[in-house]
Amino acid sequence: MNKAFIHPNFSIHGRAISFDDLTEVSYSLIKEGEGYEKQIGAFLLDWIDDSEIILVKTSGSTGKPKAIALQKEYMVNSALATGSYFNLKPNST
């Protein structure tokens, strides 16, 4: 995964996480976290791997949930467009 895909202000529970620390933090979430944190840890490991795609599951709201492959670059572009549309300012979360 390209380090540019990790926001420079990325944090978990208010703690800044560098790209270099992300693998260790992700494994810690998987091993010691609550159910939702385990899922976040697994997602983060998938996010930082070398693949250009990430597999996610649909919600199943219109049928059986299924796995779909999304381009990571498209997800980043979607997040940037969403922030721009809603006029979100840096560090305003």
pLDDT tens, 40-67? 999 999 999 999 999 999 998 999 999 9
Question: Cα 49 to the chain's mean position, in Å?
Answer: 12
Report the pLDDT value the prediction gives residue 90, as an integer from 0 to 100: 81
Distance CA 33, CA 40 (A): 9
Asked whether residue 93 carries a pLDDT value surpassing 90, the answer given is no
Q: Please report, rounded to a whole number, the percentage of residues in the chain having pLDDT higher than 90.
A: 76
Asked whether residue 2 carries a pLDDT value surpassing 70, the answer given is no
Distance CA 63, CA 72 (A): 25
